[in-house]
Structure 1
Amino acid sequence: MANDIIFQPLNLGKVTIKNRILRSSLSGRWDNEDGSGTQTRINWETKFARGGIGGIISSFVPVTMHGRILPNYATIHTDDHIPFWRELGAAVHRYDCKFIMQLSHSGRQQDMPGLSNQNRIALSSTSRRESLHGFPCQAMTTAQVKDTIAAFAEGARRAREAGLDGVELHGANGYLITQFLSSGINDRKDEYGGSLENRARFLLDIIDAIRAKVGRDFQLQVKISAIDYNNVVPWEGRGNTLKETIQICKWVEEHGADALHVSMGSLFPHPLNPPGGFAFDTITRNYDAMLSSGTRTLRNYFLFRYRLLRPIFYLVWFRQKWGKPIEGVGAESAKAIKQAVSIPVISTGGWQTGSLIARHIHAGDFDAVSMARGLLANHDLMDFWRQGKDVPDRPCTHCNKCLLNAPKHPLGCYELSRFPDFQAMVDEITSVYRETPPPLMAAAQ
């Protein structure tokens, strides 16, 4: 098979994954308000592991309760949560699948603060509000920066004690590390702002702190936005260029990272992450859950709801998509980074076509791909490739209804055309709540 390289193992530091496919960060609100995990999350992760992928990169796992993007996300801010993560990791390992915990902090990008953050303003590199939704924030003091660095290191220690295979630092897509890295966001005047070297200091200090805490043998990778494209709102600064990010990646390797996970964008969602469509009717039904979170959310809601205003949003949002592919939107940037470093590079961005993935890996453009929506639509995608099919029978349409439904509803595929009827769609989405996992899609068919 021309796609055989997809099924070849890959070393990520001391960890070997059995093939070149990882599920990227993807999760619903499956957990408890106090940050403790549930059986539903275990069902969620094992559903992907059973499909045969090489590794799972967990959803956004906050290293502090103050760093959550949404309530009902499991955290790693306390030793009390280690047993849960140990149980989850063991469940994933039963399917010969590795589990990498994504250590994260929202910074100013808090979609719905939740009970723990009701009366607290989000901490960031800056005191300027997030540009799209207007989320309020306050620049961290130097002491708070140091405390947050220590929290990341403690999160890595807990992940190691839980028997997980490694950690990923979420340095992409507008979350806290991006807020320090990006020239379009970081306006600090101290040692963590200004020059590229200073803006990268927060990330590099985290890597150093983790290595001091867990040693060199524990797998550590970094997710990073190759290009910020920060001017989603046109008057915002463009942010980091690919050249600047390549330099950051070189420093990341020097400080002891084992792999790089390359994405796009300085906020989430972003026109290029996830790439694809935008269903106005879906976002209108769900965006109101975020109205109280920011000062610009009402403006956005009107743009979504009223047909006469939608062309304004469409023009602003989609202008950055013009001329760019949906599948493999970040491939060229990942290739440029791969040429500059010696550690493995993982590319994310709309992947699901076997021959396209194999062609890039054969060419040495990068070493593996991660995907979210493609696997959400077809958990057993690997089986279709083994059968000689280039894409699954019912491929992901990249409609992004999964994301747009997430503020109010369980995460899942909401593209009705992919199901026999509405009830079949609901049954698939809610299958993670069952004690006994259901069969995968191909088996069910």
Structure 2
Amino acid sequence: MPQDVFSLFTLPNGNQLKNRLVKAAMEENLANVYQLPDEPLMQLYSTWARGGVGLIITGNVMVDRLAMTGPGGLVLEKSTELEPYSQLAKQAQQHNCKVWMQINHPGRQVYKRMGGKVISSSDVALNLGKHSALFAPPKAMNEQEIQDVIKRFVTTAQKAQEAGFDGVEVHAAHGYLLAQFLSPLTNRRQDSWGGSLENRARLLLNIVEQVRVACGIKFDLAVKLNSADFQRGGFDVKDAQQVVYWLTEYGVDMVELSGGSYEAPAMQGRSADERTLAREAYFLEFASKIALESQIPIMTTGGIRRLEIAEQVIESGVALVGMASALAYTPDLPKQWLDHPERVGFIPSVNWQDKTLSALAVMALIKKQLRRMSKGQAPKKDSWAWLALLDDQLRLAKLTKRYRNLHAAELD
């Protein structure tokens, strides 16, 4: 049995994971009408807990109900009912599995049809070519809005701890708000929140510092960070190395390295600056380089579906192996590897000429499997990409209407 991948792992704060395999975050859109978890998500997370991973990181939980990555998303704010989240944590913690809540703010990556707050470090709109109109231009945040976001992240972390989660992961990757502050392409500010990397990282570091103080050292604290934006002139590997170094000061227990954004979906294996990504473990080259110099354990996520590759990740000096898409089709792949190490997980691929539609189609195929598992059904590989995309868009339209009805008095 490959001892490295399945060996016990101790985090810097002394807490332990039963192995080094992690269910990384995926967009689910399975919240109920009140943006809370209920039976479908309980069923889904119970399935992953049975599947053999040592840690589950939830899909996005938003810190502001008026700033959503999409409809059907979870929200945890100061006044949110906690019991549904406590139940979700218990389902995910079966079989000695740990669970961290990924907490996030989308910034400018809010679909125009959703309405609500569209804010960013600067007023730089998404450039998706002919699809750019899907997103409203963002407003550059003022000091009061920046302080509000910091407070919201801290509050959500405290509520997650109160609900029984083992930790939180602060999402600062994939082009969301904290990544927008980190990237010189989107952060054109001239004040203390922009300019130098130190200033651009200030928002993330403030949040991490305050979460650690509020929740204490025994509550696991992780950060998801781009190894690079994969856009010319964007946040890059040297920047990531420096930010990881700064995070050391705040007792961070793990940094997950991914990459890309809506404009350059490297997290699906496609860069926008002509750099070639690996066919599996997309970001391992970058993650292993950062891990060599980091005092914080590093995890890499992106396209991992074979035990052989998972072992390579550990051998390279990266501490944890993040898996997402493969666990949407084979939720018990880690358990299968114990008896059948040759087993290969499945990850969908859509290579249409239109990169934006390809990325949406891949997400649609994955979310279809999450919905099946949330109903107690087994995933299926025989879905047509265009049909899954159409079905997903129709479903999202209904969920968007539901969301707008719920917050009609507050939305723009």
TM over 0.5: yes
Shift, 1:326, TM fit: 2.2
Contact 1:373/1:398, CA 8 A, preserved across alignment: no
Counterpart Cα distance in 1 of 2:215 and 2:222: 14
Shift, 1:438, TM fit: 4.8
Give the alignment partner of residue 351 of structure 1, picking from 304, 321, 324.
304
| 1:336 is aligned to 2:330 | no
Counterpart Cα distance in 2 of 1:31 and 1:211: 28
Contact 1:271/1:320, CA 8 A, preserved across alignment: no
Contact 1:66/1:122, CA 8 A, preserved across alignment: no
Per the alignment, in what secondary structure is the counterpart of residue 56 of structure 1?
Answer: strand
Contact 2:47/2:331, CA 8 A, preserved across alignment: yes
Shift, 1:83, TM fit: 1.3
Other-structure match for 1:383: 335
Contact 2:288/2:316, CA 8 A, preserved across alignment: no
Other-structure match for 1:255: 250
Report the residue type matching 2:346 in the other structure: P
Counterpart Cα distance in 2 of 1:408 and 1:349: 17
| 1:241 is aligned to 2:192 | no
Counterpart Cα distance in 2 of 1:429 and 1:90: 20
Report the residue type matching 1:170 in the other structure: H
Distance 1:402 1:251, change over 3 A: same
Shift, 1:405, TM fit: 4.3
Listed as ranges, the matches of 1:169-318 within 5 Å are 169-231=170-232, 238-265=233-260, 267-268=261-262, 270-275=264-269
Shift, 1:71, TM fit: 1.4
| 1:412 is aligned to 2:368 | yes
Other-structure match for 1:283: none
Counterpart Cα distance in 1 of 2:81 and 2:290: 36
Deviates more, 1:170-179 or 1:124-133: 124-133
Shift, 1:112, TM fit: 5.8
Other-structure match for 1:53: 53
Counterpart Cα distance in 2 of 1:104 and 1:429: 22
Counterpart Cα distance in 2 of 1:16 and 1:411: 30
Counterpart Cα distance in 2 of 1:185 and 1:142: 17
Counterpart Cα distance in 1 of 2:24 and 2:3: 21
Deviation string for 1:79-108 (max 9, x for gaps)? 433211111001111222111000100000
Other-structure match for 1:130: 126
Q: Taking structure 1 as the reference length, what is the TM-score of the superposition?
A: 0.77
Distance 1:322 1:142, change over 3 A: closer
Listed as ranges, the matches of 1:146-161 within 5 Å are 146-161=147-162
Counterpart Cα distance in 2 of 1:272 and 1:27: 16
Report the residue type matching 1:131 in the other structure: N
Report the residue type matching 2:236 in the other structure: T
Counterpart Cα distance in 2 of 1:440 and 1:8: 28
Two-structure CA RMSD over aligned residues (Å):
2.4
Shift, 1:396, TM fit: 2.6
Shift, 1:402, TM fit: 9.9
Contact 1:67/1:104, CA 8 A, preserved across alignment: no
Other-structure match for 1:430: 372
Q: Taking structure 2 as the reference length, what is the TM-score of the superposition?
A: 0.83
Distance 1:321 1:272, change over 3 A: farther
Counterpart Cα distance in 1 of 2:309 and 2:161: 35
Other-structure match for 1:299: none
Shift, 1:412, TM fit: 2.9
Report the residue type matching 2:278 in the other structure: P
Contact 2:373/2:379, CA 8 A, preserved across alignment: no
Report the residue type matching 2:246 in the other structure: W
Other-structure match for 2:320: 368
Shift, 1:324, TM fit: 2.6
Counterpart Cα distance in 1 of 2:364 and 2:237: 35
Report the residue type matching 2:240 in the other structure: T
Deviation string for 1:30-50 (max 9, x for gaps)? 113432222111112222111
Counterpart Cα distance in 2 of 1:402 and 1:128: 24
Other-structure match for 2:4: 5
Report the residue type matching 2:89 in the other structure: G
Other-structure match for 1:308: none
Report the residue type matching 1:373 in the other structure: S
Counterpart Cα distance in 1 of 2:79 and 2:10: 29
Other-structure match for 2:354: none
Deviation string for 1:362-410 (max 9, x for gaps)? 342x011111111111111113311233233x63344489963488788
Contact 1:15/1:165, CA 8 A, preserved across alignment: no
Shift, 1:322, TM fit: 6.0
Shift, 1:242, TM fit: 0.8
Unaligned runs of 5+ in 2: 352-356, 381-412
Unaligned runs of 5+ in 1: 232-237, 277-317, 414-427
Distance 1:165 1:319, change over 3 A: closer
Deviation string for 1:180-234 (max 9, x for gaps)? 0111110111110011100000000101111221122211010000111234xxx
Shift, 1:68, TM fit: 1.1
Report the residue type matching 2:184 in the other structure: S
Counterpart Cα distance in 2 of 1:332 and 1:408: 28
Other-structure match for 1:416: none
Report the residue type matching 1:374 in the other structure: A
Contact 2:22/2:55, CA 8 A, preserved across alignment: yes
Counterpart Cα distance in 2 of 1:93 and 1:440: 22
Per the alignment, in what secondary structure is the counterpart of residue 322 of structure 2?
Answer: strand
Counterpart Cα distance in 2 of 1:223 and 1:344: 12
Counterpart Cα distance in 2 of 1:35 and 1:211: 26
Distance 1:19 1:208, change over 3 A: same
Counterpart Cα distance in 1 of 2:257 and 2:83: 31
